[in-house]
Amino acid sequence: MASHPRQALRFHIIVNARSGRMDAQSKCATIRKILDECGRDYILHVVHDAKALRAIAKKTVDEARRDGGVVVIAGGDGSINMVAQAVLGSGCTFAVLPQGTFNYFGRTHGIPEDLEQAVRAMLMASVCPVQVGMVNNRIFLVNASLGLYPKLLEDREVYKRQLGRSRLVALWSAIVTIWRQHRNLRIRIDQDGETRDLLTQTVFVGNNRLQLEQVGIPPAAQPGDGRLAVVTLRPVGKFSLFGLLLRGAAGTLDAADSVDSFAATDMTIKPRFALSAWSKVALDGEIFWLRSPLRFKVASEPLLLLKPANAATGVADGLHYGHENIDK
């Protein structure tokens, strides 16, 4: 059974005011109530402007390093990514209070989506190493993609601002996006010593078993043990894309002839014909412009995640490390 974190440990908590359905005041009140009840030491940083998150994350990591505390983010997968980018390599322990729409990272590691339950689970958690994906100098915990998938995410954000954050809104947005015309990608992939040219509508690189299992990607292509999952889609028409959307919902995506999936430990993607040296890439739901070529690999060190005791198995995302009590 996992041991409890020592009482003197301070939690440095970043709250993304815009994530989830609860307002910032309610989130902070819930967090304060539980931590005060348990006599725990903590500092709250509330972020109202997403543009300020990166700077606040860096400052918070510096504070946590000085007192040996834990860096905590209450937000969606995009916010988690931004804070994890600052935490990785710092030696700090990392904790997550999922507040997004899909919460793939939190759900994969058994962290409750209910905020009160997540805070209580954090107090009973143990340190577990988690594999981190990288593309150039940016990390991703759930997925990285280029082509059609980033466009789906961009359009989804527009609809969320108009209609609110929900999985139903996300589905409707995907249907509308698929109906439009899209440009195919002509790329060259160098993967584990092999080179091939490809015409594809999207390239999806996954680092989250839950998301990939839900759409039907087979175990042989799953991430873990230093591997990332790669999914490509051959050019198809609109109605075939709708069919693929249904297959993904049913968990049978890999049975489609137009879908290819494989595992890779080191992969470079570069456009065969490009007017710009920059590529639009989605990382855990956030859009970035990265300079080509794009090199995908697993980070040289894991993220030290506080994982709930009832979800702890000693193996995180295929990384074979022993559990470490946070008291150490």
pLDDT above 90 covers a percentage of the chain that reads: 55
**Which tokens in the block code for residue 159?**
């609809």
Max mean pLDDT among 8-12, 26-30, 156-160, 271-275 falls in 26-30
Does the domain made of 10-132+300-320 have the CATH classification 3.40.50.10330? yes
Per the CB < 8 A criterion, the answer to whether 70 and 11 are in contact is yes
Per residue in 89-139, pLDDT (tens digit) is: 999 999 999 998 889 999 999 999 999 999 999 999 999 999 999 999 999
Does the domain made of 142-298 have the CATH classification 2.60.200.40? yes
The band of 282, judged by pLDDT with boundaries at 50, 70 and 90, is: very high
pLDDT at 100: 86
pLDDT above 70 covers a percentage of the chain that reads: 81
Per residue in 29-78, pLDDT (tens digit) is: 999 999 999 999 999 999 998 889 999 999 999 999 999 999 999 999 99
pLDDT at 4: 44
Range of weakest confidence among 154-168, 187-201, 240-254, 276-290 = 154-168
Domain extents in the chain:
10-132+300-320, 142-298
Query: Dihedral of CA 64/288/273/235: which sign?
Result: positive
Checking if the pLDDT of 295 tops 90, the result is: yes
Per residue in 242-257, pLDDT (tens digit) is: 677 777 777 777 778 8
